[in-house]
Chain A
Amino acid sequence: MKPTEMPVVQTAGLTKVFKDFWRRDRVIAVDSLNLEVRRGEVFGLLGPNGSGKSTTIKMLLGLLYPTRGRISVFGKPPTDVAVKARIGFLPEESFLYRFLNARETLDLYGRLFEQHTRQRRERIEKLLDMVGLTAEATRRIGEYSKGMARRIGLAQALINDPEFLILDEPTAGLDPIGIRQIKDVIRELSRKGKTILLSSHLLADVEDVCDRITILYGGRERSTGDITDLLSREDRTQFITDKLTPETVDTVRTLLHESAGKNILSVGAPSDRLETYFMQTIEKAEKTNARSSGARRSGALPDFLGATAPPNVIEHLVSEADRKPPPSTAELLEIRPRQEARSKSEAVIEHLTQPKPAPPERTEAQTPVVPEKQDASEADRSIIDALMQKKKDADDG
């Protein structure tokens, strides 16, 4: 393997077991993980809470020592100090010095890279500008809001112009503008050839920026691959058009049925597809009763909540005066004309999609798994052609 092709991060059988005071195993946080982050890619580390994302990242940085397995970062062990000059790291919480102000904070980290004073000052100002905190740079970080501190955390991670950037939940605590900015920064840096490893819960963000992802559950790798590969379904075809009226959808449906004998499986706005994939992966892992020391899927709302709500006295008295049967759902719809107008189109679509097989679970409604075997590739072309033809006819007529 040529050195340029060497992966930035490679782990083999990486395992971390947290022990208790008596050195007994307590938590298997990461279990036989084989990770590979290639040069120049944006790699996403996904997983529910406590699935071992942060633990993995900490081991990559030599902040935790693996129980078993090997790690190489730029071909060196993670404890190698020289390697760290090429890495930028944003921890999952912005652990900064409360008593230093933003500029002093960045100055401290700049000094740790033994940067020359001029270069350091220059970079600090540019980074402060990038995260939009130049005006607040003389305030102590202890006074900052969570998101502001997070921005300084990001600036701090970039001070050495790292080749490899590790971001642990970079968007946590940020406002939508901040999230957008981080995504832009990631894309920009990626375009400049940097390698980026990020962990996140915001799947839409991951989907937007990542080239490859690994989904962890209970410290184990559940799925890895190119994001487009993972999400593409060979047995399906997706159209994305401008918004269609229910009538058009109806037309298309009939057309499809006539020309290719196929049904439309779902109609709606394009959905968050990674979310679906993610849920499926985790569900599958849970079904196999996989061991996890992290958080499980949340259970039902505890029944004590709202069970014995104290009666509101005034409301009680008022309702006593003109006791009426509670309004039915239909009545409620009546008194809300706007709602009804909107739900009209929905009703149409619902009507249109009536004949589809009932989905077994709610989550699968968005991309239901249909057992019918249909030859998708064959259908493709002809359907589109037919559609084009139909439209032309309509226009002419």
Chain B
Amino acid sequence: MGRIWAIARQTIAESLRMKIALVFIAFILVLVVGLPFALRKEDSVSSAVQTFLSFSIGGVEFFLSLLAIFLSRSLSEEVAGGQILTLMAKPIPRWQFVVGKWLGIVVLVGALLGTSGAAIYGTARWMATRPPRDEFDQLRLRDEILTARHAVPITPIDFSETAERLFNERLESGAYEDVIEKLDKKKEKARLRKDAEQRYRTLFPLESRVFDFENVRCDRSPDRTIQLRYKAEVWAYPMDEVLRAEWFVGNPDLGTPLYQLQRRDVINRYHSLFVPANAVAPDRSLRAQLYNRNPFEGEPQYGNTISFTSFGDIEVLFTVGTFGGNLARQLTMVMCKLVLLAAFAVMTVCVFSFPVACLVSFAFLALATMSGFLNDSLIHFEDEGVYWAFKKFAELLYTVAFFVIPDFSKYDGTSMLVNGRNVTLRWVLTAISNLGLGTIGIGLAACLMFQRREVAETSF
């Protein structure tokens, strides 16, 4: 350990004195301290804080990724500059040298990430003390941004029974008479199921609909609130961009109070209802019912049809942690990625000269960041003619590449954090174990490659 640390120390000292790290520190300072001033003109404090958070966390991660790659230059410099000859003539195993280099990078990057994290936290809190635009702005900041909320989706409803019943009805009524030979029962039932689901998501005038949630494990005391978050579309004639309806939240059958909330919302935007937490039943279930009726007297009663594009457009949220903890968890995931990236960068310089190694590492970073997107785009790839062969080839390439390259976007909690969603500990632990395993694998490969390398051979 003494030897590994000696190498790590040396790497850190070098990067500080060669001012590589200093450039990045300056970048980060500009980003974290300068950004809030640039966001002064943002109309509301809450959106200013959101913009700040997403840009500063993304920016810090980006710069530190570059730094992790650039710091690996130290090893190739030593090979090119001959320092490696003296080092490897000392009783330090090759693997300890490689690990020492990696550790130096990780410590430096980790320290910078920790510092930036603290700065981001402080700045966000400081921004939150600015006078809010209105009460809504203040609430939003407190309950939807600088917090950590857990989300529960709608309990899935099974429509296959309804579809079965509809199918039989239609069969008996002779609706399929003309096409009975060609009828694909499975397909028809699936279509009916989809229809039924869509029907459930659509409320004609004066209709009401029940949405159930399970496992709402929040603090049920009445002075706490839970949030019902939804986004709806409205068809009306004449066109009106406003949703007017009534929500009933709570289930008196299970002994909870019933809260009635009258809403006048802009359509196609998310809205949150704040409901006292005792609306949640003791069995942790929550019932919310939407009644498609204009509750506002004096306003015209439109023949509105309310529709939700998907069941994902309705969810229940409740606070489970603090903004600070959430930020720490998100940054832990960032750190996991940086640790893996550092290992990869060290591995490349074990094999290539720095310019080549640098390019390979950048390609890796780019692919890892975009791999989710690339995978998606592959699925939507043209499936005909000459494209077919190309697609197969690309698929093969991608399968191989993404077996090796981790999907960094899977471990990005920025959007969750910015929206005050809980970055779960389980998620973080998954990131630690998956990316940690990747790091170990890459590290082993790096050590093996360096073990085999003739360090005095400079013509690489």
Q: Contact between B85 and A58 (Cβ–Cβ < 8 Å)? A: yes
The answer to whether A95 and B83 touch (CB under 8 A), given A84-B90, A112-B92, is yes
- Stretch from B138-146, B336-344, B451-459 at the A interface: B451-459
| Whole-angstrom CA separation of A89 from B83 in the bound complex | 12
Q: How far is the CB of A81 from chain B (nearest CB, A)?
A: 5
Q: Contact between A108 and B89 (Cβ–Cβ < 8 Å)? A: no
Which of A87, A95, A97 is within 8 Å of B85, CB to CB?
A95
Q: Taking each of B2, B10, B83, which has the highest tally of chain A beta carbons within 10 Å of its own beta carbon?
A: B10
| Whole-angstrom CA separation of A111 from B85 in the bound complex | 16
Q: Contact between A97 and B2 (Cβ–Cβ < 8 Å)? A: no
Question: Which of chain B's residues have a CB closer than 8 A to the CB of A249?
Answer: none
- Stretch from A61-69, A331-339, A369-377 at the B interface: A61-69
In this assembly, does A85 line the interface, its C-beta being within 8 Å of a C-beta of chain B?
yes
In this assembly, does B87 line the interface, its C-beta being within 8 Å of a C-beta of chain A?
yes
B69-108 at interface with A (beta carbon < 8 Å): 81-93
Q: Contact between A112 and B456 (Cβ–Cβ < 8 Å)? A: no
Which of A82, A95, A97, A166 is within 8 Å of B10, CB to CB?
A97
| Whole-angstrom CA separation of A166 from B88 in the bound complex | 14
Q: How far is the CB of B89 from chain A (nearest CB, A)?
A: 4
Question: Which of chain B's residues have a CB closer than 8 A to the CB of A93?
Answer: 82
Question: Which of chain B's residues have a CB closer than 8 A to the CB of A64?
Answer: 454, 456-457
Q: Contact between A63 and B82 (Cβ–Cβ < 8 Å)? A: no
Q: Contact between A109 and B85 (Cβ–Cβ < 8 Å)? A: no
Task: Name the CB-closest residue of B to A87.
Answer: B89
| Whole-angstrom CA separation of A159 from B456 in the bound complex | 22
Question: Which of chain B's residues have a CB closer than 8 A to the CB of A153?
Answer: 86
Query: A85-108 toward B: CB 8 Å interface, digit per residue (1/0)?
Result: 101010101011101100010001
Q: Contact between A84 and B454 (Cβ–Cβ < 8 Å)? A: no
A152-201 at interface with B (beta carbon < 8 Å): 153, 156, 160, 166
Q: How far is the CB of B261 from chain A (nearest CB, A)?
A: 66
In this assembly, does A114 line the interface, its C-beta being within 8 Å of a C-beta of chain B?
yes
Q: Contact between B3 and A62 (Cβ–Cβ < 8 Å)? A: no
In this assembly, does B18 line the interface, its C-beta being within 8 Å of a C-beta of chain A?
yes
| Whole-angstrom CA separation of A112 from B10 in the bound complex | 11
Query: B43-86 toward A: CB 8 Å interface, digit per residue (1/0)?
Result: 00000000000000000000000000000000000000111111
Q: Contact between A91 and B82 (Cβ–Cβ < 8 Å)? A: yes
Q: What's the tally of chain A residues with a CB closer than 8 Å to chain B? A: 32
| Whole-angstrom CA separation of A93 from B85 in the bound complex | 10
Query: A116-157 toward B: CB 8 Å interface, digit per residue (1/0)?
Result: 000000000000000000000000000000000000010010
Q: How far is the CB of B101 from chain A (nearest CB, A)?
A: 13
Task: Name the CB-closest residue of A to B92.
Answer: A112
Query: B3-17 toward A: CB 8 Å interface, digit per residue (1/0)?
Result: 101100110011001
Question: Which of chain B's residues have a CB closer than 8 A to the CB of A91?
Answer: 82, 85-86, 89
Q: How far is the CB of B78 from chain A (nearest CB, A)?
A: 8
Q: Contact between A65 and B10 (Cβ–Cβ < 8 Å)? A: no
Q: Contact between B86 and A96 (Cβ–Cβ < 8 Å)? A: yes
In this assembly, does A277 line the interface, its C-beta being within 8 Å of a C-beta of chain B?
no
Question: Which of chain A's residues have a CB closer than 8 A to the CB of B2?
Answer: 111, 114
Question: Which of chain B's residues have a CB closer than 8 A to the CB of A100?
Answer: 10, 13
Task: Name the CB-closest residue of B to A100.
Answer: B13
Which of B9, B13, B81 is within 8 Å of A95, CB to CB?
B81
Q: Contact between B85 and A99 (Cβ–Cβ < 8 Å)? A: no
| Whole-angstrom CA separation of A380 from B81 in the bound complex | 58
Q: Contact between B90 and A112 (Cβ–Cβ < 8 Å)? A: yes
Task: Name the CB-closest residue of A to B83.
Answer: A95
Question: Which of chain B's residues have a CB closer than 8 A to the CB of A112?
Answer: 3, 6, 87, 90-92
Q: Contact between B455 and A63 (Cβ–Cβ < 8 Å)? A: yes
The 8 A-B pairs at the shortest CB distance, nearest first, are namely A95-B82, A111-B6, A89-B89, A63-B456, A112-B90, A85-B91, A84-B91, A99-B17
Can you give 16 contacting A-B residue pairs, CB < 8 Å?
Answer: A18-B457, A61-B88, A83-B91, A89-B86, A91-B85, A95-B85, A96-B83, A97-B14, A104-B13, A112-B3, A112-B90, A112-B91, A113-B91, A114-B2, A114-B3, A153-B86
On B, residues with C-beta under 8 Å from A are 2-3, 5-6, 9-10, 13-14, 17-18, 81-93, 454-457, 459
